[in-house]
């Protein structure tokens, strides 16, 4: 599998799990499984820095806040 394809697949998987965890409050995998996915992505990106994108899960924290949170005015 091409490395770029593998990185993109990991990113999509992590994004899905972020959404389920942070927005839906319904995690589909354990924290350990999530950490393993994240570490794999970090390793691949560290070995291929030209493939790091600003929107990669490794470049930010979490996901969008759930709708219960209100903005301060």
Neighbours of 23 (CB within 10 A): 14
Nearest CA to 34 among 54, 20, 52? 20
Q: Is residue 61 within 8 Å of 14, Cβ to Cβ?
A: no
Q: What is the pLDDT of residue 13?
A: 98
Tell me: pLDDT of 72 over 90. no
Confidence grade of residue 1 (pLDDT, cut at 50, 70, 90): low
H helix count then E strand count, the chain? 2, 0
Residues 10-62: tens digit of each pLDDT: 999 999 999 999 889 999 999 999 999 999 999 999 999 999 999 999 998 65
């Amino acid at each position: 599998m091409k490395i770029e394809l593998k990185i993109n697949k990991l990113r999509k998987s992590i994004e899905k799990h972020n959404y389920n965890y942070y927005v839906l409050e319904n995690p589909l995998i354990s924290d350990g499984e999530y950490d393993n996915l994240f570490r794999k992505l970090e390793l691949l990106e560290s070995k291929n820095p030209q493939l790091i994108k600003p929107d990669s899960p490794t470049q930010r924290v979490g996901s969008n806040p759930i709708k219960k949170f209100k903005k301060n005015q």
